[in-house]
Amino acid sequence: MNRSNPAISGRSNGGADFLQLDPAEAPPGGLADWLTDRLRTAISTGHLPVGTRLPATRTLATDLGLSRGVVTESYQRLTEDGHVSTHGRRGTVVVAAAMIGDVRTSEGPRFVGRQNLAVTDDVFDRLRGLPARIDLTPGVPDLAAFPRSAWLRAERAVLADLESADFGYGDPAGTPTLRRAVAAWLAQYRGITANPDDLIIVAGVAQAIGLVAQMLEQHGIHEIAVEDPGSLGSRQHLQNWGMQTPPIPVDDRGMQVDVLRNSGAGAVMVTPAHHFPTGVVLDGERRRELIQWATDGGLVIEDDYDAEHRYDRPPVPALRSMLPDQVIYAGSVSKLLAPALRIGWMLAPPQYKEELIARKRLADLGNAGLPQLTLAALMESGELERQLRFLRRRHRTRRDAMVTAIRNHLPTATIHGAAAGLHLTITFKGGDDTALAAAALEAGVKTHPLSWHCQLPHAPGLVLGYAARTPTEITEAIATIAKVR
């Protein structure tokens, strides 16, 4: 062992029982790098599974004969990467698996080829199940940033105040407490004035889409026009309930409303604040055209996708704030907190509200009450706003890393939608984006081909999520894509 290294004390016993770590393996001057790499590898291989508490910095430093600063720096790097988190008295805990190199199972490497990226009803489930060193799947939030401590505090406070009767069946439209909190949130952040009684709490936007489709089908509407490019997932949900989804082209000003008007569709689903997947904002003239189309009898289903996550542009008001009688509005906390909560909300015009509540009642008798009350407490305490501000800073850094990497490694690609959201899209001149996505997956990088989200011909491209990855991982992933292109 190199005793001249000031980071190593004279008390070294030659290593630690924990992971059989031996500082003698570290290169000169690289103790923090060595320790970080060993811990990250142990997390990726499952030797330190999610939930494992790491030794206290002082304890591990003593066992290894290192200065405490080396261990602290290593833990800090893992925290910045999103692999561990500090939880007060619980110490430093593994919260997300790292992917180092080709993670192998007993069956060997499981990266797959192009045939596995064919669009089927279960394509997203299949893609989630495939391993990758770096996952750039769009729509995935930074799950390692979930405010666990704040959630636990809010949940404890809610439980302390609950009456026994509160554990029974509740209002299928949602708890009054959460509806009041959501109404206040929408007024402050989306410019929507809404009575809490008009809100329906749903299991995410996906359930809102299904309830609306079922209702409209009973009203004789069998087509809901969609943006193109547009979310494959939303289109699948609509089609599952028997809806046809005529495509309406999207350009750099948003959906082409003149094409919508000529389509004859009676309803349309839009993402006007941050279009998925191109990130374009529906501009003022197109908004006025869409409002006129709705005033003439059309129905707008507004998915307020990613509206809170903006970096380089001012906020865009929700369509619902301008036209409450012809817009069904849907939003959720899936991208702000976590999809696992399955909490979203819907605002419907008065003529549809009771029918949608009835369908929600028959679907599941209403969302679970305890998570609703906990979320309401986060909203009312200001914790959710603090989380949003924290995520904006974190996401901006990761977005910047992705833009820089694309410019360095894919200079001929065109970048779309970098001003907001959790993803951006790149397009190329020519090529097969499904083949490119498959090649990237074989090389260990997971993403979406843009063609998945298109019904009409469109330039090939990739939809790249950045919220859940570190700048280092993002740079590596883009460099990998460039190599296989």
Q: Give the span between the Cα atoms of 481 and 133, in whole angstroms.
A: 13
Of 297, 294, 295, 285, nearest in space to 256 by CA: 285
Residue 114 pairs with which residues in a beta bridge?
Answer: none
Burial class (CB in 10 A: 0-12, 13-18, 19+), 287: buried
Q: Give the span between the Cα atoms of 459 and 440, in whole angstroms.
A: 18
Tokens 């299928």 sit on residue: 172
Q: Give the span between the Cα atoms of 465 and 136, in whole angstroms.
A: 5
**pLDDT tens digits for the chain (485 residues)?**
343 444 444 444 456 778 888 888 888 878 988 999 889 888 877 788 878 889 999 999 888 888 998 999 899 888 887 788 887 777 898 887 655 443 333 333 333 344 457 788 888 888 888 888 899 999 899 999 999 999 999 999 999 999 999 899 999 999 999 999 999 999 988 889 999 999 999 999 999 999 999 999 999 999 999 999 999 999 999 999 999 999 999 999 999 999 999 999 999 999 999 899 999 999 999 999 999 999 999 999 999 987 788 887 777 889 999 988 999 999 999 999 999 999 999 999 999 999 999 999 999 999 999 999 999 999 999 999 999 999 999 999 999 999 999 999 999 999 999 998 899 999 999 899 999 999 999 999 999 999 999 999 999 999 999 999 999 999 999 999 999 99
Residue 300 pairs with which residues in a beta bridge?
Answer: 268, 327
Q: Is residue 225 helix, strand or coil? A: strand
Residues with Cβ within 8 Å of residue 455, at least 6 apart in sequence: 228, 230, 235, 245, 247
Burial class (CB in 10 A: 0-12, 13-18, 19+), 218: exposed
Q: How far is CA 60 from CA 40, 257, 400, in A?
A: 16, 63, 35
Q: Measure CA 291 to chain center.
A: 29
Tokens 């002082």 sit on residue: 58
For the chain, the C-alpha Rg in angstroms (whole number) is 25
pLDDT at 367: 96
Tokens 């001003």 sit on residue: 419
Tokens of 93: 């805990």
Tokens of 85: 């988190």
Q: Give the span between the Cα atoms of 303 and 78, in whole angstroms.
A: 35
**Cα angle vertex 345, ends 212, 140, to 5°?**
100
Q: How far is CA 426 from CA 155, 412, 433, in A?
A: 41, 10, 10
Q: How far is CA 475 from CA 402, 411, 442, 467, in A?
A: 6, 14, 18, 13
Tokens of 230: 């547009």
pLDDT at 1: 38
Of 395, 477, 401, 470, nearest in space to 437 by CA: 477
pLDDT at 98: 55
pLDDT at 230: 96
Secondary structure (DSSP) of 317-372: --GGGT-TTSEEEEEESTTTT-GGG--EEEE--HHHHHHHHHHHHHHHSSS-HHHH
φ, ψ dihedrals at 372, nearest 5°: -60, -45
Under a CB-based contact definition with an 8 Å cutoff, are residues 250 and 275 in contact? Answer: yes
Put the strands of the sheet holding 448-449 in their side by side order: 414-416, 423-427, 461-465, 448-449
> What's the pTM value of the predicted model, to 2 decimals?
0.76
Q: Give the span between the Cα atoms of 394 and 311, in whole angstroms.
A: 11
pLDDT at 15: 62
Q: Give the span between the Cα atoms of 57 and 68, in whole angstroms.
A: 6
Residues with Cβ within 8 Å of residue 470, at least 6 apart in sequence: 80, 81, 82, 398
Q: Give the span between the Cα atoms of 176 and 373, in whole angstroms.
A: 9
Q: Is residue 341 helix, strand or coil? A: helix
pLDDT at 5: 46
Q: Which residues of 89-106 are buried (b: 16+ CB within 10 A; e: fewer)?
A: eeebbbbbbbbeeebeee
Q: Give the span between the Cα atoms of 40 and 99, in whole angstroms.
A: 8
Strand ranges for 87-152 from DSSP E: 92-94, 134-135
Q: Give the span between the Cα atoms of 282 and 305, in whole angstroms.
A: 13
pLDDT at 237: 94
Q: Is residue 133 helix, strand or coil? A: coil
Q: Give the span between the Cα atoms of 465 and 422, in whole angstroms.
A: 6
Report which secondary-structure segment, H or E, holds 255: strand 254-255
Q: Which residues of 141-166 are buried (b: 16+ CB within 10 A; e: fewer)?
A: bbebbbbeebbebbbeebeeeeeeee
Largest pairwise CA distance in the chain? 82
Q: Is residue 46 helix, strand or coil? A: coil
Tokens of 153: 């505090």
